[in-house]
């Protein structure tokens, strides 16, 4: 897993509004290696989904995107919309958070697949395209006979599996999964995670997994990014981040998780800041119990405290 498939440098995504730009992603750097699973965690509104959609070029019109985002040595930020559409589905794909809002209730599952396949491979016959769709569904444990059914005829877990099948039917090299197990029970959640693992092995895909669930990250991912208010607070291997967290925000997230030994509930005091006017200095300092004067005035740099383990904290060495 030494070859890099995706590289971001100084990536910024700002949404224009009447009150000013929303700094959804505000200058982040990361690499994704071939065959790697990279988890992205953080509270709601920290920029996780925007990061995922920026990779797929699925941002609203007039969104300001700066920096560099390279996929297989190709600069994505310079692509025209038509070029981006060709990449989506063929070389990279996105699993959306809520499949019921992404599947057309007036179209059968077969028609969904045919539309996706023929956009990228117009020369394929209808029969061949149907075979591809049936094979993708079969890999999700859904029989061919369900191709002619409509989205409302499936359970939530099956709809999510259909979305995954549509995403991987053309065997992309990069899959972005935006909270793929939201609102699913733990049994179905485990099935979805097993499917993602199997697909990664079978197709040699790289996976970016966006989630609130730290347990999923610990179970599935190789490395993890902890996001806060549009920036990276910490980045490292799952073992390093979970066992020896450096950033106080990461420590707070891990302390908030519930496990078998939990005797009392914990939380991080305060609320995430508005991305219209984020705090100066370290964006976490208004909620941080360790904050000092420098935290409110100077933005901390991402420092490599251990090989491959980075954190943006002025006092990171105190937590080693």
The confidence band for 318, taking pLDDT boundaries of 50, 70 and 90, is: very high
Nearest to 242 by CA among 260, 221, 262: 221
Residue identified by tokens 């589905």 is 89
Position 147 scores a pLDDT of 96
In the chain, how many domains are there? Answer: 1
Does the structure show a pLDDT above 90 at 196? Answer: no
Structural domain boundaries, residue 252: 222-320
**Residue 255: pLDDT band with limits 50, 70, 90:** very high
Exposure string over 222-261, b if 16+ CB within 10 A, otherwise e: bbbbbbbbbbbbbbbbbebbbeebbbbbbbbbbeeeeeee
Q: Exposed e or buried b for every residue in 31-70, given b needs 16+ CB within 10 A?
A: ebbbbbbbbbbbbebbbbbbbbbbbbbbeeeebebebebb
**By mean pLDDT, which of 68-77, 95-104, 165-174 is the weakest?**
95-104
Please give the share of the chain, as a percent, with pLDDT higher than 90. Answer: 74
Q: Is residue 254 part of a domain?
A: yes
Instruction: State the average pLDDT over residues 139-152.
Output: 93
Residue 269 resides in a domain? yes
Gap between the Cα atoms of 165 and 146, Å rounded: 13
Residue 98 pLDDT exceeds 80: no
Considering the domain boundaries, does residue 277 fall inside one? yes
Integer Cα distance of 208 and 94 in angstroms: 9
Q: Is 162 helix (H, G, I), strand (E, B) or coil?
A: helix
Residue 133: strand, helix, or coil = helix
pLDDT interval class at 198 (50, 70, 90): confident
- pLDDT (mean) for 38-54: 95
Residue 320 domain-assigned? yes
Give the β-pairing of 231-237 and 223-228.
Answer: antiparallel
Residue 100 pLDDT > 80: no
In a domain, 272, yes or no: yes
CA 119 to chain centre: 25
Q: What distance in Å separates the CA atoms of residue 220 and residue 218, rounded to the nearest whole number?
A: 6
Strand, helix or coil at 237? strand
Give the pLDDT confidence score for residue 1 in this predicted structure: 54
Q: How far apart are CA 154 and CA 148, in angstroms?
A: 12
| Band (101; pLDDT cuts 50, 70, 90) | confident
CA distances from 106 to 3, 112, 148, 149 (A): 43, 10, 12, 10
291 falls within a domain? yes
> 210: alpha, beta or left, given left = phi > 0 and alpha = psi -120 to 50?
beta
Is the residue at 302 inside a domain?
A: yes
Angle at 262 between CA 180 and CA 269, to 5 degrees: 75
Would you call 45 helix, strand, or coil by DSSP?
coil
Q: What is the pLDDT of residues 259-301, one digit of tens each?
A: 778 888 889 999 999 999 999 999 999 999 999 999 999 999 9
Cα–Cα distance measured from residue 229 to residue 284, given in angstroms and rounded to the nearest whole number: 8
Token output for 274? 């508005």
Asked if the structure places residue 279 within a domain, the reply is yes
CB atoms closer than 10 angstroms to residue 320: 10
Give the single-character DSSP code of 97: S
């Amino acid at each position: 897993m030494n070859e890099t498939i995706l590289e971001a440098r100084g990536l910024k995504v700002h949404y224009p509004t009447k009150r000013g730009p929303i700094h959804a992603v505000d200058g982040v750097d990361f690499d994704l290696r071939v065959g790697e699973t990279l988890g992205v965690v953080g509270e709601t509104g920290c920029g996780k989904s925007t990061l995922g959609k920026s990779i797929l070029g699925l941002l609203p019109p007039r969104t300001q995107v700066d920096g560099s985002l390279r996929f297989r040595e190709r600069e994505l930020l310079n692509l025209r919309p038509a070029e981006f559409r060709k990449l989506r589905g063929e070389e990279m794909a996105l699993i959306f958070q809520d499949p019921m809002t992404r599947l057309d209730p007036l179209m059968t599952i077969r028609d969904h697949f045919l539309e996706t396949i023929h956009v990228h491979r117009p020369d394929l016959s209808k029969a061949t395209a149907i075979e591809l769709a049936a094979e993708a569904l079969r890999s999700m444990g859904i029989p061919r006979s369900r191709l002619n059914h409509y989205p409302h005829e499936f359970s939530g877990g099956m709809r999510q599996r259909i979305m995954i099948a549509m995403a991987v039917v053309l065997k992309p090299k990069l899959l972005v999964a935006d909270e793929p197990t939201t609102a699913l029970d733990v049994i179905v959640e485990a099935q979805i995670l097993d499917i993602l693992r199997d697909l990664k092995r079978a197709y040699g895909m790289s996976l970016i997994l966006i989630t609130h669930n730290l347990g999923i990250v610990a179970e599935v991912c190789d490395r993890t990014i902890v996001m806060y208010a549009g920036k990276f607070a910490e980045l490292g291997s799952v073992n390093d981040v979970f066992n020896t967290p450096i950033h106080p925000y990461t420590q707070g997230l891990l302390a908030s998780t519930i496990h078998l030994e939990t005797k009392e509930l914990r939380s991080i005091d305060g609320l995430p800041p508005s991305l219209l006017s984020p705090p100066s200095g370290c964006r976490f300092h208004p909620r941080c119990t360790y904050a000092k004067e420098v935290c409110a005035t100077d933005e901390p740099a991402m420092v490599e405290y251990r090989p491959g383990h980075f954190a943006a904290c002025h006092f990171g060495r105190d937590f080693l």
